[in-house]
Amino acid sequence: MNIIVCVKQIPDPETPAASFKVDEAAKKVIPAQGIAPVVNPYDPQATEAALRLKDAAGGGKVTVISLGPDSARDAIKHALAMGADEGVLLNDPAFDDIDNFQTANALAAAIKKIGECDLVLMGRASADWDMGVVPLGVGQALGVPVVSVAKAIEKTANGVKVERVLDDGFQTVEAPLPAIVTVSNEFGEPRYPQLRQIMMAAKKTVQVWSAADLGLGADATGAANRVMPLEALYVPKVESNVEIIEGDSPEEKARNLAQKLRAAKLI
């Protein structure tokens, strides 16, 4: 079974709010000092799903794609260390600050270029923009079905059987291959790469493709060609209205808090 996993490198969502800064003029997040970017937290679950499906099928190849800057190579390396076979980095200044429509089309072009592919797996959303729309866009561009927010995936005679997480429950669906499935945190813990695997991953191939390699013309890329311009990005001013509960001792503060909560009918 040949599977493609799309991963993304993002600013660490565990960054303390105090260290989160935005360059409002450039409409970009300023990387927090000393806090390295990480793999989008849903993506290792997509990689885990790919590795389990490949094992269950008794063979095949797992290829990891990431669209991003040079540092996004680390997100690919993480998936390779988990056990994926090959990596492709989509890297071009023309990809800087593109929107979800452009990203979906670039990923779709890369998937077509890789060719043989039974299944594409992605995290349910990226934790930076938190939209979860790119997988649907890739599905549209490739003309294949998309099953979103999976907690379990199983290969069947007809394709894949997927257990989806809904707002108020679960749904089991079956889709023919090729298909795109997005994986949610409910899938379970991904494996953690061991040192030996990390060293082996260093030897695995990561190809680098530019927009031209994907056959994408200048009108398909570039922030200036966004179909959805980003007009503003800023840190919202939080009016802090906190009432600090006073008291001569921790115990007295606790008693005062309980009474305040009761007075406000919160308990």
Partner 1 sequence: MPGILVVAEAAEGAVTPASFELIGAARKLSGEGAGPVAAFIAGSEAQAKELIAVGADSAYTSDAATQADILLPAVQAAVAQSGADIVLIAQSSLGRDLGPMLAFANNTGVAMDSTELKIEAGRLRATRSAYGGNARAEHTWKSPLQVVTVKAKSFDAPEADASRSGAVTAIAEKGESKITVLGTEKAVSTGIRIEDAAVVVSGGRGLGDESAFKALEELAGTLKVAAVGASRAACDLGWYPPSQQVGLTGKTVSPNLYIAIAISGASQHMAGMAGSKNIVSINKDADSNMVRVSKFAIIDDYKKVLPALIEEIKKLG
The interface with partner 1 within residues 138-177 (CB under 8 A) comprises 139-141, 145-149, 161, 166-176
Shortest distance in whole angstroms from residue 203 CB to partner 1: 30
d(CA 28, CA 20): 11
Q: Is 22 in the site for partner 1 (CB under 8 A)?
A: yes
Which of 185, 197, 207, 210 is the binder for partner 1 (CB under 8 A)? Answer: 185
Shortest distance in whole angstroms from residue 28 CB to partner 1: 10
Q: Does residue 133 sit in helix, strand or coil?
A: coil
Q: Is 71 in the site for partner 1 (CB under 8 A)?
A: no
Shortest distance in whole angstroms from residue 119 CB to partner 1: 14
Q: Which stretch binds partner 1 (CB under 8 A): 54-62, 64-72, 98-106, 193-201?
A: 98-106
Which of 42, 85, 221, 222 is the binder for partner 1 (CB under 8 A)? Answer: 42
- Give burial (CB, 10 Å; 0-12/13-18/19+) of 192: exposed
Which of 8, 100, 153, 221 is the binder for partner 1 (CB under 8 A)? Answer: 100
Which of 96, 97, 130, 154 is the binder for partner 1 (CB under 8 A)? Answer: 130
Q: Is 121 in the site for partner 1 (CB under 8 A)?
A: no
- Alpha helices (H) along 83-142: 100-114, 134-142
β pairing state of 38-39 and 9-10 = antiparallel
- Applying CB under 8 A, what is the total number of residues that bind partner 1? 82
What's the distance, CA 208 to chain centroid?
20
Which of 61, 155, 191, 226 is the binder for partner 1 (CB under 8 A)? Answer: 226
Nearest in space to 62 (alpha carbons), one of 208, 211, 201:
201
β-pair partners for 67? 90
Q: Is 213 in the site for partner 1 (CB under 8 A)?
A: no
Q: Does residue 21 sit in helix, strand or coil?
A: strand
Q: Which stretch binds partner 1 (CB under 8 A): 79-87, 134-142, 193-201, 209-217?
A: 134-142
Nearest in space to 184 (alpha carbons), one of 13, 49, 9, 5:
49
d(CA 31, CA 42): 21
Look-up of token digits 């937290």? 41
β-pair partners for 266? none
Q: Which stretch binds partner 1 (CB under 8 A): 67-75, 195-203, 211-219, 220-228?
A: 220-228
Report yes or no: 101 and 107 within 8 Å, Cβ to Cβ.
no
Q: Is 11 in the site for partner 1 (CB under 8 A)?
A: yes
β pairing state of 146-156 and 159-166 = antiparallel
Q: Is 32 in the site for partner 1 (CB under 8 A)?
A: no
CB atoms inside a 10 Å sphere around CB 259? 12
Q: Is 132 in the site for partner 1 (CB under 8 A)?
A: yes
Q: Is 264 in the site for partner 1 (CB under 8 A)?
A: yes
Q: Is the dihedral of CA 193, 195, 197, 203 positive or negative?
A: positive
Nearer to partner 1, 187 or 209 (CB): 187
Which of 59, 205, 219, 243 is the binder for partner 1 (CB under 8 A)? Answer: 243
Q: Is 220 in the site for partner 1 (CB under 8 A)?
A: no
